[in-house]
């Protein structure tokens, strides 16, 4: 049951229109660049309402979608490697 609850929680995310940086919906209904400040959605109704609202904010965010996430040691953590890399940046360094 615990596993089912964890796999049923999601963050609402997209990329910022102005610069493409990842954004996550925060608890105040705004957007944050820090996944740790993201709000977790667990009900389908809340998800549907949030996605509808996000689609009305296209000047701010592109292609919003839900990504599976969970709370680990009090912090929101995306469930997949792709979303974790998206949240923390490339795992390789740039040439300087």
Partner 1 sequence: VYRYDEYDARLVHERVEQFRDQVQRRLAGEITEDEFKPLRLQNGLYMQLHAYMLRVAIPYGLLSSTQLRMLAHIARIYDRGYGHFSTRQNIQYNWPRLVDVPDLLADLAKVEMHAIQTSGNCIRNVTSDHLAGVARDEIEDPRAYCEIIRQWSTFHPEFGFLPRKFKIAVTGAPADRAAVRFHDIGIRIVKNAAGERGFEIWVGGGLGRTPRIGQVCGEHVPHRHLLSYLEAILRVYNRFGRRDNKFKARIKILVGALGIDEFRRQVEEEWLQIRDGVIALTDDEVTRVASFFSAPPYRALPEQDARLAGKKLSPDRAFARWIDANVALHKRPGYAIVFVSLKPHGRPPGDISADQMDAVAELADRFSFGEIRSTHDQNLVLADVEIGDLEAVWKRLHELGLAQPNIGRATDMISCPGLDYCSLANARSIPVAQRIAQRLDDDDRLARIGTVSIKISGCINACGHHHIGNLGILGIDKDGEEHYQLTLGGAPGDDAAIGKIVGPAFSSADIVDAVANALDLYLEQRLSPTERFLEFYRRVGDKPFKERLYA
Q: Which of 1, 3, 59, 72 binds partner 1 (CB under 8 A)?
A: 59
Rounded distance between C-alpha atoms, residue 81 and residue 74, angstroms: 19
Rounded distance between C-alpha atoms, residue 96 and residue 94, angstroms: 6
Q: Does 58 bind partner 1 (CB under 8 A)?
A: yes
Give the residue from 29, 36, 19, 33 showing the smallest Cα distance to 76: 36
Q: Which of 10, 11, 12, 22 binds partner 1 (CB under 8 A)?
A: 22
> Which stretches of the chain bind partner 1, using CB under 8 A?
15, 17-22, 58-59, 62-63, 80-82, 85-86, 89-92, 94-96
């Amino acid at each position: 049951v615990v596993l089912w609850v964890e796999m049923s929680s999601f963050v609402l995310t997209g990329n910022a229109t102005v610069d493409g940086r990842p954004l996550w919906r925060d608890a105040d209904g705004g957007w944050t660049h820090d996944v740790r400040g993201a709000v977790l959605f667990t009900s389908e109704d809340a998800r549907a309402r949030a996605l509808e609202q996000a689609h009305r904010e296209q000047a701010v965010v592109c292609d919003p979608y839900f990504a599976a996430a969970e709370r680990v040691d009090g912090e929101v953590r995306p469930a997949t490697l792709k979303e974790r890399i998206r949240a923390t940046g490339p795992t390789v360094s740039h040439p300087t």
